[in-house]
Structure 1
Amino acid sequence: MTIFYEFEGKLYANITNRCPCSCVFCIRKNGDSVADNDSLWLEHEPSYKEIIKAFDDFDKTGLHELVFCGYGEPMERADVLLEVAKYVKQTTDMKIRINTNGLVDFINPAFDSYKMRYIIDCISISLNAPDPESYLEVSRPKFGLPSFNSMLNFATTVKTIVPEVMFTVVDIIKPEQIEQCKELAEGLGIPLRVRHWVTDNESYT
């Protein structure tokens, strides 16, 4: 069972396969893994102890960043994620990043984002679209139309908590929509990264 895997010089943590979205560009639709790693479909959700053991056993030589990502939305297990991140902070000097859809307020309404202060170094949020309607078409969240504004609210909140916050969009949307996303991100003071849509899972980051 693959809990940790290396990709392009970074260590990725695959702690859940749950996700409230079904994005049209999701790499899970392309195959079972990323690059030449083993399957990212988990036999079960690993416990905190299993995650820590897998982390300790992994050869981290030359790896300086841990990314919570994998084949699921990591904030589905926000509390476990933070406990693991604390351990990593205490035992290494690795930068810690979360790649998220930003819908934790729907996933876990009781979660306090301020718990991430001094633990998480960077959060990358999937903006995906410039407005609620197109976001619904691209991300297909189970929480419906309110998801877009919830994601934006999360972004503006964590911007005051975490040192580095960024948005991403995938170039599967129209060029004019990408420009609208750039304007939206600029208005919120959050950098935007445009990712290329991959269909072979060989160059996903």
Structure 2
Amino acid sequence: MLDHKGTRFYGLNYKCPCDCVFCVRKNYDSLTTEGSLWLEHEPELSEIINELKKRDLSKYDEAVFCGYGEPLVRIDTLIEVCKYIRSVSSIKIRINTNGLSDLIHQKPTAHLLSGLVDSISISLNAPSADEYLKITNPEFGIESFQSLLNFAQASKKVIGDVYFSVVDILTEEQILRCKEISERMNIPLKIRHKA
């Protein structure tokens, strides 16, 4: 559930509404030398909290929800884990997400994270809806890209520290167009390297 540094929360779930062409879980069962990130079962909230109670969170700078599934699929559990962390620690909390939470839950969701999450990294992955569809294969279809942008804008209003990311499998021209989106929305863009 926690990585070797204890700062990343993998394994809230393994569900994801995307099937990205670059997804690391297609080729690896781990991102570290600490063993597989595939768990025997999806942990209950009590299991996650009990695991956190074993850690001295003051030793860490940040807790990051990310991993082999989209963390916001289990938004209610994530919120409760954030509340627990906030009750015992002042460490920063970040979510790495595909930005499709509104489609997953069929309602606006960014406001639910207000006051609990310090920053959100949203995988932009492409500069247009058609290209996004080809790269991420979202189960929600063509509307996914606009929903991601809407979630990013809403997150910027209620959380503030929001940034986009793209993987360097894109062409230079595609990355340039992603930068144009990020500048237009006033949301910084980070370029990640494919694992």
Same fold (TM over 0.5): yes
**Residue aligning to 1:188:** 185
| Of 104-113 and 36-45, the range deviating more from structure 2 | 104-113
Of 95, 99, 109, the match for 2:106: 109
Distance verdict in 2 for CA 1:50–1:108, change over 3 Å: same
Distance 1:105 1:117 in 2: 15
Of 118, 142, 145, the match for 1:145: 142
Q: Which amino acid aligns with 1:76?
A: V
Q: Which of the two has greater helix per residue?
A: 2
**Residue aligning to 1:154:** 151
Q: Which amino acid aligns with 1:80?
A: T
- 1:127 paired with 2:124, answer yes
Q: Following TM superposition, by how much is the alpha carbon of 1:177 offset from its aligned partner in structure 2, in angstroms?
A: 0.2
- Other structure's SS at 1:160 match: helix
- Other structure's SS at 2:4 match: strand
**Residue aligning to 1:201:** none
The residue correspondences of 1:27-106 to structure 2 (distance < 5 A) are 27-58=24-55, 60=57, 62-106=59-103
Q: Following TM superposition, by how much is the alpha carbon of 1:90 offset from its aligned partner in structure 2, in angstroms?
A: 1.1
Q: Following TM superposition, by how much is the alpha carbon of 1:112 offset from its aligned partner in structure 2, in angstroms?
A: 3.5
Where structure 2 has 5 or more consecutive residues not aligned to the other structure, the ranges are: none
Q: Following TM superposition, by how much is the alpha carbon of 1:138 offset from its aligned partner in structure 2, in angstroms?
A: 0.8
Distance 1:35 1:157 in 2: 33
Q: Following TM superposition, by how much is the alpha carbon of 1:137 offset from its aligned partner in structure 2, in angstroms?
A: 0.9
| RMSD between superposed Cα atoms in Å | 1.4
| Of 49-58 and 108-117, the range deviating more from structure 2 | 108-117
**Is contact 2:3–2:9 with CA below 8 Å preserved after alignment?**
yes
**Is contact 1:16–1:42 with CA below 8 Å preserved after alignment?**
no
- TM-score (normalised: structure 2): 0.95
Q: Following TM superposition, by how much is the alpha carbon of 1:105 offset from its aligned partner in structure 2, in angstroms?
A: 1.0
Q: Which amino acid aligns with 1:122?
A: S
Of 160, 165, 190, the match for 1:163: 160
Runs of 4+ in 1 over 3 A off after TM superposition: 58-62
- Other structure's SS at 1:135 match: helix
**Residue aligning to 1:16:** 13
Aligned length: 194
**Residue aligning to 1:5:** 3
Q: Following TM superposition, by how much is the alpha carbon of 1:28 offset from its aligned partner in structure 2, in angstroms?
A: 0.5
- TM-score (normalised: structure 1): 0.90
**Is contact 2:58–2:89 with CA below 8 Å preserved after alignment?**
no
- Other structure's SS at 2:68 match: coil
- Other structure's SS at 1:82 match: helix
**Is contact 2:14–2:68 with CA below 8 Å preserved after alignment?**
yes
